[in-house]
């Protein structure tokens, strides 16, 4: 059986850890790419990871490179490239800078791996996945954003910690954009098949929902000089697995919604069936009045973000 070829663009903490998880899961052969200014750093990380293979017992081949030619004909490309927000940098500065980076990466992917499925991890996520699709011109189903798997994992973790139970028994779903406006769905949350509202009072559920919304910011506050990467990388690897193994996982991803949920042509977090063709189906849930209101608020925030990005990119002369 031919091994899948997986490229991870960006050899920082998220990218390198994504390669680590994918290798340990034996999802395929892996190329870790970074910009020429990074020098031999991606080669060093790839070689270090390869040398763990005899110990951990995986047979994935891993290379590091600065040349997109080495990524040619990848089955899956993960984009983690971008910069974190720095002191003195406005939200628009971050948006414009990362949109430019994602556009450049996407144009390279279009040339070297025209049949790839693209998973975008770069932030601000919902705008970056929109930019990647516009720059590649790939079918919407083959360009996906990683956010919902991570956000749901945080939500599930906090529930398990609260109840003192296994995270494996917690099932949850959320919708909307990645960030403060995400919409955890208590009505779609259960533990061992028991609805969450039978195990916790509504007030406590609301507190856990709020903590999930700010899960990334909580980690940034604790780390002081960085942001989360273990869980974001693990979430990305789960999406890669669903694609290369055609697992048809029902998980939340940033997917292109047109008629679905009345979004009208933007990427937003929704439940999807994820398999070898990318997003194979979007699952539409019946939302309560409050859930619908919260979801629309999240969608509106995504639309504002994308419109701002498009204006900034147009001003910079980037399509």
CATH value at residue 110: 3.40.50.720
Q: What are phi and psi of 203, to 5 degrees?
A: -65, -40
Do both 152 and 283 map to the same domain?
yes
Residue 155: other Cβ atoms inside 10 A:
25
Q: Which two tokens stand for residue 317?
A: 């002369």
Q: In a 3-state reduction of DSSP, which class is residue 118?
A: strand
- The residues near 124 (Cβ < 8 Å, ≥ 6 apart) are 94, 95, 98, 178, 179, 305
Do both 267 and 296 map to the same domain?
yes
pLDDT tens digit string along 1-17?
Answer: 789 999 999 999 999 99
Residue 283 domain-assigned (yes or no): yes
Do both 194 and 282 map to the same domain?
yes
Do both 16 and 137 map to the same domain?
yes
> Where among 145, 171, 202 does a domain terminate?
145
Whether residue 140 lies in the annotated active site: no
What crossing angle do the helices spanning 230-244 and 13-24 adopt, rounded to 10°? Answer: 50
Can you give the CATH number for the domain in which 190 is found? 3.90.110.10
Domains identified in the chain, total number: 2
Residue 188 domain-assigned (yes or no): yes
**DSSP category for residue 18:** H
Residue 312 domain-assigned (yes or no): no
Do both 154 and 270 map to the same domain?
yes
Residue 316 domain-assigned (yes or no): no
pTM of the model: 0.95
Residue 111 domain-assigned (yes or no): yes
Decide: residue 53, CB within 10 A, 0-12 exposed, 13-18 middle, 19+ buried: middle
pLDDT tens digit string along 108-157?
Answer: 999 999 999 999 999 999 999 999 999 999 999 999 999 999 999 999 99
> Where among 88, 122, 145 does a domain terminate?
145
- Exactly one of 20, 140, 178, 214 is catalytic; name it: 178
Per-residue pLDDT of the chain (319 residues; tens, 9 = 90+): 789 999 999 999 999 999 999 999 999 999 999 999 999 999 999 999 999 999 999 999 999 999 999 999 999 999 999 987 666 666 667 888 999 999 999 999 999 999 999 999 999 999 999 999 999 999 999 999 999 999 999 999 999 999 999 999 999 999 998 877 889 888 899 999 999 999 999 999 999 999 998 898 899 889 988 889 999 999 999 999 999 999 999 999 999 999 999 999 999 999 999 999 999 999 999 998 888 999 999 999 999 999 999 998 888 776 5
Do both 294 and 246 map to the same domain?
yes
Do both 102 and 176 map to the same domain?
no
């Amino acid at each position: 059986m031919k091994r899948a070829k997986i490229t991870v663009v960006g050899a920082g903490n998220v990218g390198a850890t994504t390669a680590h998880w994918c290798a340990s899961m034996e999802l395929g052969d892996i190329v870790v790419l970074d910009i020429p200014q990074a020098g031999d750093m991606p080669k060093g990380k790839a070689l270090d990871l390869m040398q763990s293979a005899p110990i951990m017992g995986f047979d994935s081949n891993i290379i590091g490179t600065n040349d997109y030619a080495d990524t040619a004909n990848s089955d899956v490309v993960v984009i983690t490239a971008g910069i974190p927000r720095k002191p003195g940098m406005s939200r628009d500065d971050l948006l414009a800078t990362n949109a430019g980076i994602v556009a450049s990466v996407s144009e390279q992917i279009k040339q070297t791996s025209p049949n790839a499925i693209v998973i975008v991890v770069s932030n601000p996520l919902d705008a970056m996945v929109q930019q990647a699709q516009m720059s590649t011109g790939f079918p919407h189903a083959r360009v996906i954003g990683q956010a919902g798997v991570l956000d749901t994992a945080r939500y599930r973790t906090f529930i398990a910690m609260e109840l003192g139970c296994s995270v494996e028994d917690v099932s949850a779903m959320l919708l909307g954009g990645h960030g403060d406006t995400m919409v955890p769905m208590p009505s779609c949350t259960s533990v061992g098949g028991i609805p969450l509202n039978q195990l916790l009072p509504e007030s406590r559920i609301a507190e856990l929902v709020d903590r999930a919304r700010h899960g990334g910011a909580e980690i940034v506050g604790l780390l002081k000089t960085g942001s989360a990467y273990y869980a974001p990388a693990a979430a990305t690897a789960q999406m890669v697995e669903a694609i290369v193994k055609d697992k048809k996982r029902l998980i939340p991803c940033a997917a292109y919604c047109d008629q679905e949920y009345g979004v009208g042509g933007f990427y937003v977090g929704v439940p999807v069936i994820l398999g070898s063709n990318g997003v194979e189906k979007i699952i539409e849930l019946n939302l309560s009045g409050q859930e619908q209101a919260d979801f629309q608020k999240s969608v509106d925030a995504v639309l504002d973000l994308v419109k701002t990005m498009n204006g900034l990119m147009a001003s910079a002369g980037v399509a």
